[in-house]
Amino acid sequence: MHPSSPILVTGAAGFIGHHVAARLLDDGCQVVGIDNLNDYYSVELKRDRLAQLEPREGFQFCRLDLGDRGALQQLLADRQCTHVVHMAAQAGVRYAAENPAAYVDSNLVGFASLLECCRQAGIAHLLFASSSSVYGADARSPFSESHPVDHPISLYAATKRSNELMAHSYSHLFRLPVTGVRFFTVYGPWGRPDMALWRFVEAILGEKPLQVYNEGRMTRDYTFVRDAAEAVVRLLDHSPAPVDAGDPAAATPSASATAPFRIYNVGNRRPISLLDLIRKLEQCIGKSAELQLMPMQPGDVPDTCANIDAIGEAVGFAPGTPIDEGLAEYVEWHLQYARRSR
């Protein structure tokens, strides 16, 4: 049962945030979306996502930066939000090496501001986006929430792991119910231009060399964006509790014995090799790709695969979109959107 009060969705003009807001509106929820509309990638794309949401009943948008703590406090008080879905972040593994300050400002300072505002507002449940990148170069597969995640190999991953630790401390100190979701390579319509699928499709369409890192010897657990949004919406109704307040030994790396805090993987559990993904895109587009084999990039990991038993047991989530179906829908959207926006 979703809350009757408005739900705050940060990053509502972003890729996953847009889909989460739409999914909540489908359920009849009131949604207050915020976004700072920064120019890391096309602001026009962000505004086009918002244009899908703004005509819908129950949606309100406010342009706001999470670092503006006073404005965020006032917004939560004025709209009387009781639940927060935090999807805003500075994204991208490789860009972190170029502009680390952006990750500190958004993912660390901005998240700290949000935590404090949630504490002061008495938020009933904060759900935030983490990332599969926190697993670093863990060679065990599939990645499980029970694995330690103490060795991130990109600044982006380090900020996401930091978010998890910061959130746990707030949950422990102030009894703030918090759920973190580790997304595994989310893809689908309205994706970002810096994401692999966008770049691959553009290269194939433009008959340009397609840069394939680690010479294609990588696998990814691609998760369709509507499946990811479904997981978020289900978890929002599933407020966490300490696993066993009387037994500190009951704690795990993803569940606390002292705090209403939990972390879940959100993935597809069916990884696909990079070269197989490109072949499927070629079939969808009807053109062949010219491959330019490149070395592994700093911060990348060779393989990802999600163990999603925990979220399945908690809320009955299971991904429902096969990779062929998801890629076909993405390519259809990309062709239509790119053609219209050029």
Residue 206 falls in which region: left (phi positive, over 0), alpha (psi -120 to 50) or beta: alpha
- List of residues 6+ apart from 148 with CB closer than 8 A: 253
Q: What is the residue-wise DSSP string for 321-336?
A: --HHHHHHHHHHHHHH
- The token duo for 192 is 């970002």
- The token duo for 237 is 């109704």
225 sits in which H/E element: helix 225-236
List, edge to edge, every strand of the sheet that includes 7-10: 59-63, 31-35, 7-10, 83-86, 125-131, 178-183, 261-266
Query: Residue 296 corresponds to which amino acid?
Result: M
Q: Are 10 and 44 in contact (CB under 8 A)?
A: no
**Catalytic site residue 156?**
yes
Indicate the DSSP class of residue 31.
Answer: E
- Three-state DSSP class for 121? helix
Q: Of residues 156, 170, 187, 330, which has the active-site annotation?
A: 156
Cα distances (Å, whole numbers) of residue 141 to 8, 154, 182, 302: 35, 20, 15, 12
CA 201 to CA 97: how far, in whole Å? 25
CA 50 to CA 80: how far, in whole Å? 22
Burial status of residue 313 (CB atoms within 10 A of its CB: 0-12, 13-18, 19 or more): exposed
Biggest alpha carbon distance in the chain?
Answer: 62
Distance between terminal CA atoms of the chain?
Answer: 42
Q: Are 301 and 136 in contact (CB under 8 A)?
A: yes
Q: Which residues are designated catalytic?
A: 156
